[in-house]
Chains A and B, each alone.
Chain A
Amino acid sequence: MTNLAIKAENISKQYRLGEVGTGTLSHDLNRLWHKIRGKQDPYLRVGESNDRTKKSTTDYVWSLRDLNFEIEQGDAVGIIGRNGAGKSTLLKLLSKVTKPTTGNFKINGRIASLLEVGTGFNPEMTGRENVYMNGAMLGMRRDEIKRKFDEIVDFSGVEKYIDTPVKRYSSGMYVRLAFAVAAHLESEILIVDEVLAVGDAEFQKKCLGKMGSVSEGEGRTVLFVSHNMSAITALCNKGLYLNKGEIASKGIIGDVLKDYHNSINENDVISYYNVGDLAVGGFKFTNLSNLGFSVIQTGDLLSLKFKIKNNYSKKCNIEFNIEFFDSSEIDIFCVGNEFNNKVLEIEPSSETEIRIQFKINLIPDKYYMKVWINNFTTFETNYTDLFFGFEVEYGDIFGTGKQPKKENSHGFVIPEYEVNYLSM
């Protein structure tokens, strides 16, 4: 058996909701009173799991609940889960920024954690001074930074401006310098929160490369939180999937990603929407190109399954159209049976499942949908309210790491095309 780097035993973290500060004294006194009588903390019993969709009935919420896991030395562990699943809380506990409410971690090795790039950067100070400052904050000794200084500056690519105050830096340079410091930390365990979301694609790749070499080459243990599934697959060999503060799955990264993917689909079964005498619902998106991924990427082949229920007393002939909108509610495209003359017949009080497969290279955004139904039996046309459909992440379809963006006026869809220089 290989040695362990981290062992978590019954880790829980409770947070107080709402206005912190009001009523704290009374709660503290109540706590003290229970303690004096040798009773359990009365506020540790209340609290519920962290489901943000429901309104909480108590002031306390469990951000993490009873986590038990072991991480072996040299593993690169991708921590995944939806927003609010407790990923960042877990990293905060391991970074000692705050302590667990119950349980403990056993750790073998020095931990360097990177919850943010450029912590402690001061705009008035020069790049050089900030490298020393940031390095010291991350736990490096002065001579250690001195030894690695040239390497750090080299990695960041800002040597020309190293003696300029960082307030004159572009945001890209700032991030490069900050990450360069962090990338040169000497530690047995490296913890990285979604910090790569900043910086340009080229530099992101460089960082991922550096992190990869870190986990494979030097036998370092890496814990990595990201929503970028391709980065996770590229970097990690193990996975930890958190759902509402609890471990939903752990183990080999491929298996964990599959579990994550499946559960997302389960979660996405929405209740039915009434459309006149009919009801539509049970929408399920599957990404056919890349089964391991839970997120829809540009260029993926998509499969949409949904159901239509007939609540009318007679058989209905219907035509449906599903319209897709982007986050600014501009309609982008629609799919349905209107244009191919396949009218759908549904028996009274029964339901039909429909599958539509389509491919469209959408620009990364959130997409919403609206279902229109023409009922030829009742001569009614009805439609649903707008509801959330899916989110598209950029899948590197050009293989260059460069990404078209809506905010840079690159349009709504990305055609697959070739550019040829004919006269050359």
Chain B
Amino acid sequence: METQNQIWTEEIKSKNSLFSVNIKEVWGHRDLMFMLVKKDFITFYKQTILGPIWFFIQPIMTIAMYIIVFGNIAKLSTDGLPQIAFYLAGTVIWNYFSESLNKTATVFKDNAAVFGKVYFPRLIMPISIVVSGLMKFAIQFSLFLIAVLYFTFIEGTVHPNIWILATPLLIVLMASLALGLGMIFSSLTTKYKDLVFLLSFGIQLAMYATPVIYPLSTIPEKYKWIVELNPLTGIFECFRYGYLGSGSFEASTLAISSGLIAIIFIIGVLIFNKVEKSFMDSV
């Protein structure tokens, strides 16, 4: 019955191939991504009295606690760096990573109302979460920069070097890892809801498996490879090495991290893409 000139611009199929990620469609919805980021920005300002000041209070309180517990009670090494600068470096980037992961991991559940009523490439949602996280990160990062400037020019205890230029790459890597893991978890939690519990304490535990509050150099040589398998290790070591000028950083560690993150990210996108088409039935 079909005429010769019948054209179809789109097909909705019951079975999709695993690799049918429509990047063009995601790009076509970039305006929506910016709107979502803007929404986060606006709602954050309007709902709190102190607004962005909270972004300062949180890391300051956290590092104060770290200095007392890890620095003075447990007496963990900081590679000879000032404790404030050392802990601030770890906290600022860890906060960004953990919050991005936490939010992307529940993206289906949190947005079920919207996802159930309108279609747009679901990838937009986790991407916008990771991008909005940058806003808070930028504020906390400026606090860290102030500390770096103080310790460089007044105290002279830290020595920033050329690896500072790697910062954008490190942010992209962290965002990709949070996004990749977040998408894997969010896809699985639509069906297996118990994983939410695993994730919430998993992130807490992961902080101790990552050189956030201790330098990689304190790990015995025998076990170093285990910590280096953690894709975050390279990022944290590179970040501290670049800004504070000490630590056991090697470019190869960062290369391994990048490779692992790329794999996790691709797996995340594929699983997410697979689940997004039918998750509404099980959420």
| Chain A residues within 8 Å of B, Cβ to Cβ | 1, 3-4, 7, 15-16, 20-21, 24-25, 28, 70, 92-111, 113, 115-116, 119-120, 122, 124-125, 129, 132-133, 136-139, 141-142, 165
Contact = CB atoms under 8 A, between A and B. Distances in A.
B9 A107 contact: yes
Interface string B18-49: 00000000001101101110110011001100
B12 interface: yes
Q: How large is the interface on B (under 10, 10 to 19, 20 to 34, 35 or more residues)?
A: 35 or more
A52 B130 CA distance: 43
Contacts, number: 122
Interface string B180-222: 0000000000011100000000000000000000000000000
B155 interface: no
Given A98-B280, A116-B117, A136-B31, A1 B9 contact: no
Contacts of A109: 9
B121 to A, nearest CB: 10
A85 B9 CA distance: 29
A3 B3 contact: yes
Given A97-B280, A136-B29, A136-B35, A4 B6 contact: yes
B114 interface: yes
Interface centre among A101, A124, A137 (most CB of B within 10 A): A137
A125 B38 CA distance: 10
16 contacts: A3-B3, A21-B192, A21-B193, A21-B282, A24-B192, A95-B119, A96-B12, A96-B119, A98-B281, A107-B8, A116-B117, A116-B118, A124-B43, A125-B39, A133-B36, A138-B118
A68 to B, nearest CB: 11
B259 interface: no
Contacts of B280: 92, 97-98
B114 A101 contact: no
B14 A15 contact: no
Contacts of A25: 192
Nearest to A143: B31
Contacts of A115: 116-118
A243 B1 CA distance: 26
Contact of B46 (A3, A99, A124, A132): A124
Interface in B260-279: 277-279
Contact of B13 (A92, A94, A95, A104): A104
A85 to B, nearest CB: 18
Given A98-B277, A99-B13, A99-B14, A136 B117 contact: no
| Top 8 A-B residue pairs of the complex, sorted by shortest distance between their CB atoms | A136-B32, A96-B119, A105-B12, A99-B277, A142-B31, A116-B117, A106-B8, A107-B10
Contacts of A97: 115-119, 280
A413 B46 CA distance: 49
Contacts of A107: 8-12
A407 B121 CA distance: 42
A137 B192 CA distance: 28
Nearest to A140: B31
B167 to A, nearest CB: 30
A129 B38 CA distance: 9
Nearest to A4: B6
B225 interface: no
Contacts of A96: 12, 119, 277
Interface centre among B36, B118, B280, B282 (most CB of A within 10 A): B118
B39 A133 contact: yes
Interface centre among A93, A136, A142 (most CB of B within 10 A): A136
Interface centre among B32, B115, B116, B277 (most CB of A within 10 A): B32
A279 B55 CA distance: 76
B12 A124 contact: no
Interface centre among A3, A98, A110 (most CB of B within 10 A): A98
A6 to B, nearest CB: 10
B12 A93 contact: yes
B163 interface: no
B141 to A, nearest CB: 26
Given A102-B14, A106-B8, 5 more contacts: A3-B5, A21-B191, A104-B11, A104-B13, A122-B42
